[in-house]
Chain A
């Protein structure tokens, strides 16, 4: 008993050093060496400033941008406070929130709203929307920016990622990258 107690203490110490300190530091060193950009969060710079991470979504709600999904992270898209809504399927708060968003969105497009555009993501900063949700928004953005819908569709297609290796996951559109490209390619917004 006493011998095993002493071993317990020493084992905790020794293995903490090995698995709790040396292991993560070695992995950090290797990761920084081999995959520097990815290990640091794939940050994107624009004219010398860091404007986001490629895989962390940002909230967009202006009429001339592709909107991202609703967010329950902190006050919305708080990437230091990830969270989902945790609203259950029969919760009136969920139903009311979706109803309100649907009403707003259908003012621009009468079609049924793709479900991902009115539901909060799991992380609270899903970087993606579905191609259906992008298509739903093209007529509004084309009108706001004074460009052809087909031009815009071509840009969306460029930023649509298919399934990984053709079959894994789901097709998706990266909202931050698409909106950055939108600003580069169609800079002339109509006067307003």
Chain B
């Protein structure tokens, strides 16, 4: 670890702190339908959209209608994406003449993935998706799934803030305003800033360039296997050109981070120089991932009239973030003891450490930071391959997702996930002092805690259930790339990432199979929608309750003590659930690696 590395990490956190308040105020104004400086431009577009789609902007919805509207919209837009993938051969903006996304299980998995804000990818973008599918299908869902997450968090906060009413807002109005006011303007500006750093934005066919030095590469037959001659020696081919994939990348890159989606335009995601060319583009993309999640903590404080509560939640998130990044940075900087004859020390001339699957311009600090941030939030974009991290370095992203991605979190999803933990924390505090727990003047009763526990139980059930099946059946184990405990980590990571709607992967696992496409698709849909319903149920139930003024026996949710209790609840729930599985995966691999064992 170097002083410069830590400077970069703290600069990042300082920038997140800096954007929290302005972002939070702006989000509050947008959803309260107050005046903003963008109204003259966006007002007419908003009204036009309501007219075309038949939305009554003054209609207020109860939690059930809100949930049904959200589910219907997600279903319809998911089907639209599926059809677009299958029909892309007939659609415009396809200079590489890419055919339909096959097999249908892959198209289903991808449609489920992008609708649920997961962006798990069983394909490489540049070899499978036309520019049209990327823009109008995948990037479109980056906007929509992010907006759906944000409006659900807002609906929950309204549930806490409102008193004795049965409604929590209008889904369509929230959705439209979120896209027009919050996401779109930041994306237009952000995309152009990224282009200024070298992120590409064009619609031309792939370029073919003549190499300076011809390369000798293994010849590959039509079956995709290397060709060998009669003596069993590898036949080599001389390659004199390089084909460079192009596309409308910047417009997708920015919403991918801002909406914590994470689905790369290219297979290598934000490690690809065309997605993330410079350290500055890297920093902008990192801050974008936490911007809305951070802002929502301020919105929580503002809408519920307890700004200090918002900051107490922010502090819990930042603390857990710092713990994660410290472990990841430390583990990656220590390097891999099994690689003899290499120089892995940090010097003025190199960052050293474990450089397998990392880019030189980012080095160790920025890759460890990215891995932590992308899984603290439910982003899942990567700038280095998690599968090639050291065992403990790779455990950090895994644990982050298992804790529910509530450190700033997926846009919206992180906030409502955190609110569930808050409900559990005040419940536990209530048990300790023997009083009915309250949260910001609302009594937390049996119904609310049951719903919160439902939310907390669906998640491990999906992960551990599907991992168990995959690790004993050949259709699961045959996809493993790395043997030994690392193979189990690959499977656990896969289902954890999909249940948590993260989308990053231990990508050695070959998941473009019927089993993983189907099981993964189901996991993503369940991990999103089954968890949203109990969330909205709590929101609706809280909105109907009357306000109880705080008394001497009320556990305050604005103090450092609350922050500590909240962190404790998060860690205990996560650790109790997943520790046995972790000890068989990354922890075991770490011990074996130190003992010099390989697989």
Contact = CB atoms under 8 A, between A and B. Distances in A.
Interface stretch (B268-276, B289-297, B540-548, B573-581): B268-276
A81 B126 contact: yes
B244 A80 contact: yes
A172 B217 contact: no
Give the interface residue-count category, chain A: 35 or more
Interface in A62-103: 62, 65, 69, 73, 75-92, 94-95, 98-99, 102-103
A82 B126 contact: yes
Contacts of B207: 41, 43, 50, 53
Contacts of B560: none
B192 to A, nearest CB: 6
A23 B188 contact: yes
A190 interface: no
A28 interface: yes
A94 B18 CA distance: 42
Interface string B160-204: 000000000000100110010000100110011001111111111
Q: Is the interface of A mostly helix, strand, loop or mixed?
A: mixed
A7 B54 contact: yes
Contact of A87 (B49, B356, B367): B356
Contacts of A185: none
Contact of A112 (B72, B80, B343, B507): B343
A79 B65 CA distance: 48
B175 A11 contact: yes
B245 A80 contact: yes
A89 B356 contact: yes
Interface stretch (B426-434, B564-572, B591-599): B591-599
B191 A170 contact: no
A86 B212 CA distance: 28
A114 B273 contact: no
A81 B349 contact: no
A154 interface: no
A20 B137 contact: yes
Interface in A133-166: 133, 135, 163-165
Given A79-B243, A121-B357, A84 B342 contact: no
A41 B274 contact: yes
B200 A52 contact: no
Interface string B335-362: 1101111111001111111111111111
Contacts of A172: 360-361
B355 A26 contact: no
B36 interface: no
Interface in B354-392: 354-363, 366-367, 382-385, 387-391
B342 A126 contact: no
Contacts of B271: 82, 84, 121-123
B513 interface: no
A81 B212 contact: no
Contact of B388 (A11, A59, A61, A88): A88
A41 B328 CA distance: 32
B206 interface: yes
B406 interface: no
B49 A4 contact: no
A90 B338 contact: yes
A113 B75 CA distance: 54
A111 B140 contact: no
Contact of B201 (A31, A81, A111): A31
Q: Is the interface of B mostly helix, strand, loop or mixed?
A: mixed
A186 B599 CA distance: 46
**Residue from A1, A65, A172, A179 having most chain B Cβ neighbours under 10 A:** A172
A68 to B, nearest CB: 10
Contacts of A14: 49, 52-53
B344 A115 contact: yes
Nearest to A9: B76
Nearest to A129: B360
A123 B250 contact: no
B508 A53 contact: no
B596 to A, nearest CB: 10
A176 B212 CA distance: 8
Contacts of B592: 90
**Residue from A39, A73, A78 having most chain B Cβ neighbours under 10 A:** A39
B343 A4 contact: no
Contacts of A40: 200, 202, 204, 246
Contact of B350 (A19, A126, A130): A130
A86 B277 contact: no
Contacts of B360: 69, 116, 121, 126, 128-130, 170, 172
Interface in B463-507: 481-484, 486, 489, 506-507
Contacts of A133: 350
A90 B390 CA distance: 9
27 contacts: A1-B72, A15-B143, A19-B184, A39-B200, A40-B200, A43-B207, A58-B242, A59-B215, A61-B215, A65-B213, A69-B360, A82-B245, A88-B486, A89-B338, A89-B354, A89-B593, A90-B482, A90-B599, A95-B598, A99-B339, A102-B340, A119-B356, A123-B268, A164-B279, A169-B278, A170-B360, A172-B360
In the A-B complex, list the 7 residue pairs whose CB atoms are closest, starting with the nearest.
Answer: A169-B279, A122-B271, A20-B136, A82-B268, A86-B508, A20-B140, A170-B363
Given A82-B272, A169-B279, 14 more contacts: A3-B54, A7-B69, A10-B52, A55-B274, A80-B127, A83-B268, A90-B593, A102-B342, A113-B341, A131-B350, A164-B279, A169-B361, A170-B350, A171-B349
